[in-house]
Amino acid sequence: MALVRVTKKGQITLPEDIREAKGIEPGHVVTVDLEGDRIIVEKVRGDVVAQTAGLWAGKAIVNYREARRAADQRRHKVLA
């Protein structure tokens, strides 16, 4: 476990060993979600980002599950 400080802008720095273990590099997208009293940070797979490109213009992606669902719906529309 690592302790990190939250800046006044609400930012944190992911520790280097965690970034390396999960392959998170500058420019990668992560989701932030709540599960009870835990804050969950997950790396977003590249295909979700590509599939939802433009879909979220002007909107914040609420969580990975929402982005995945939207990508699946978009793919089904294209295939139909």
DSSP 78: H
Distances in whole angstroms, Cα of residue 6 to Cα of each of 14, 38, 49, 66:
11, 15, 26, 26
pLDDT digits (tens, 9 = 90+) for 28-79: 888 888 888 999 888 887 665 555 666 556 666 566 777 777 777 776 665 5
pLDDT digits (tens, 9 = 90+) for 12-33: 999 999 999 999 988 888 888 8
Would the pTM count as exceeding 0.85? no
Written as six digits, the tokens of 55 are 């879909």
Q: What is the spatial distance between Cα 42 and Cα 8, in angstroms, rounded to a whole number?
A: 22
Written as six digits, the tokens of 75 are 């793919």
